[in-house]
Amino acid sequence: MSTTSSATTADTTWKADDKWLAGVVIAVITFWLFAQTLLNVIPGIQVELGIELTTANLAVSITSLFSGLFIVIAGGLADRIGRVRILRIGIVLSILGSLLIALTPENMGALTTIMLLAGRIVQGLSAAAIMPSSMALLKDFYEGKARQRAISFWSIGSWGGSGLTALFGGFMATSPLGWRSIFWISAVLGVLSLYLIRGTPERKATRSADAPAYRFDWGGVIAFVIALLALNVYISQGPNIGWLSLPGIGLIAVTAIGGLIFLQIETHHKTPFLDLNVFRNGTFTGATLSNFMLNGAAGTLIVALGLVQVAAGMSSLQSGLLTIGYLVAIISTIRVGEKLLQKFGPRRPMLWGSTITGIGILLCSPTFLLIEQYIVTTVIGFTLFGIGLGFYATPSTDAALTNVPEDQIGAASGIYKMASSLGNAIGVAVSAAIYVAAQNVNPELLEQLDIFIGRQDNIALRFGGAIGLLFNVLMVGLAIASIILTVPKDKKVELAEDGRPERKDVPPPPIGN
């Protein structure tokens, strides 16, 4: 059965240019830079709006929850009903979500809560629509070097935006414009994005004449959402309900049962919303698994920055400045990763980037040092962290886009981005839990180690930080292992003079062969 990606318009002269690419990057930024600012500005929002702390915390997490739940579904719909249509829907939802938050009234009880949470839910749905559809369109409209360049700019919008969000949010919230200006600007940029991508010809996956009639996979979608919802609740609420408490075990059971039902449905449905055969390609699987693991290393931020605030009395702004090297490095090295991809293929840049990231996290781990020494090693560590992710981003994304069938590119892009969201959520939750749990070690045992320099009244806190950070090193190690085991050594892209890829390798065998 052959499938292709085709335009649904008669316009064959249209060509994506830098203006169109800017519109896509702006759409991506509306989530990674603007929607994610709530992570840093929620304390001020909580006070001004007069909402409960539990509501404020829910407002932070609910966006990623809805994005993670629906991103694969939106990617599948993009393949079926049109990638440009889903991208536009995502941008409109971003505008609507931003306006709901910007217009949320103060101290009006249920109305305040409803508008704030509704805005955050809509922002999550917008991200679910924008990410896979925009990634799929990069493959539709670009080839060879042009595609890799486009992916680099897309990565700057996502990885770079996530690196800038804390500093940008803090600056805007403390400026005379206030925190609402963040979401007004986001809405304006959404309108600009729609303007820049106007006239884009539709793209969708087409099926051959002998393909079975399409029937929406409601059972698979429902089982998928239930399983992921239970998993997200377990991850986000585990510290409160207890990881091994009865409710916690119940959530694990729901996740497992929902996952098994989902697998059963998808392997027998004639037109599954997620074709699991996409994982038969080792390069895509390696890119997705390593993306999950490297995003899991995001726990480095919550542990290292929380530690210096509690143990050394730094403010949130002072601790945030420790990551300035990360921001500069990741933005400046993403294009370097593109050049490495063109010269070596995806495997080696992905390995190099992951290794540099691991070294960077290791430099953030020696919490036994004096604070002055630790600041130096952490600044260097976060800079290496950014360099490593910059090397990794474009080769990994290109590998994920290039190595899946055309009719599954939207759903596969959703899987790849879902790996980011779940990896981040799991990494942060587990790192924080280890950080807290390791502080309960008997201080007398730690004193016998005789390695903690300076103050001795906070060595349990510093030990917990070290163990929490080393967990993130483990996550990077698992990312490296997944690349070694799944991405073929000979998977190299050689580009002809016209920029089109000339594949010199043999298609990789299914995993397990």
Give me the CATH number covering residue 174.
Answer: 1.20.1250.20
- 434/302 same-domain check: yes
Dihedrals phi, psi of 204, to nearest 5 degrees: -155, 165
- Whether 499 is in a domain gets the answer no
The Cα–Cα gap between 459 and 464 comes to: 8
Give the chain's domain count: 3
- Whether 299 is in a domain gets the answer yes
- 397/440 same-domain check: yes
The predicted structure's pLDDT at residue 376: 94
The predicted structure's pLDDT at residue 368: 86
Cα–chain center distance at 228: 16
- 59/168 same-domain check: yes
- Whether 168 is in a domain gets the answer yes
The predicted structure's pLDDT at residue 40: 66
Rg (CA), the chain: 23
- Whether 10 is in a domain gets the answer no
- 41/66 same-domain check: yes
The predicted structure's pLDDT at residue 496: 43
- Whether 510 is in a domain gets the answer no
pTM for this predicted structure: 0.78
- Whether 96 is in a domain gets the answer yes
- 60/193 same-domain check: yes
- 68/145 same-domain check: yes
The predicted structure's pLDDT at residue 427: 82
Could you write out the DSSP letters of every residue in 272-303? -SS-GGGGGSHHHHHHHHHHHHHHHTTHHHHH
Is the Cα torsion angle 15, 19, 24, 27 positive or negative in sign? negative
- 338/481 same-domain check: yes
- 117/246 same-domain check: no
Of the three residues 201, 234, 264, the one that is the final residue of a domain is: 201
- 93/235 same-domain check: no
Residue 82 domain boundaries: 16-201
The predicted structure's pLDDT at residue 263: 92
- 323/438 same-domain check: yes
Other Cβ atoms closer than 10 A to 497: 7
Q: What share of the chain is helix, strand, coil (3-state, %, to 5)?
A: 75, 5, 20
DSSP classification of residue 37: G
- 457/472 same-domain check: yes
The predicted structure's pLDDT at residue 8: 44
CB–CB of 105/115 below 8 Å? yes
* DSSP H or E segment with residue 7: strand 3-7
Phi-psi region of 454 (alpha: psi -120 to 50; beta: other; left: phi over 0): left
- Whether 464 is in a domain gets the answer yes
- 484/346 same-domain check: yes
Of all residues in the chain, the percent with pLDDT exceeding 90 is: 38
The predicted structure's pLDDT at residue 211: 63
Residues of the chain with pLDDT under 70: 1-12, 39-40, 166, 207-214, 236, 239, 316-317, 444, 446-448, 450, 454, 456-458, 490-513
- Whether 358 is in a domain gets the answer yes
